[in-house]
Amino acid sequence: MARNPFRPGVKAMAGEWRGYYRLRIGDIRVIFWPDLKTKTIYVDYIGPRGDIYKTKT
């Protein structure tokens, strides 16, 4: 992910998650957003699929 945050398996999110991306690793989801100017990846959430999308309010 450090070399290519948009590798296969990473999907752009929509709706209130616009600007974020998700990476699926089995039943776990990693929700992140890349800052391309500073070449930094901010990971906001890591958790099981059933719970992860309920956390944004």
Two tokens at 6?
């948009």
> Which domains does the chain carry?
10-52 (3.30.2310.20)
- The 10 Å CB-count burial string (b at 16+, else e) for 33-47 is bbeeeeeeeeeeeee
Give 4-56 pLDDT, tens digit per residue.
Answer: 778 888 999 998 889 999 999 898 999 999 998 998 999 999 999 877 766 55
Is the pTM above the cut of 0.85? Answer: no
* Rounded Cα distance, 29 and 3, in Å: 19
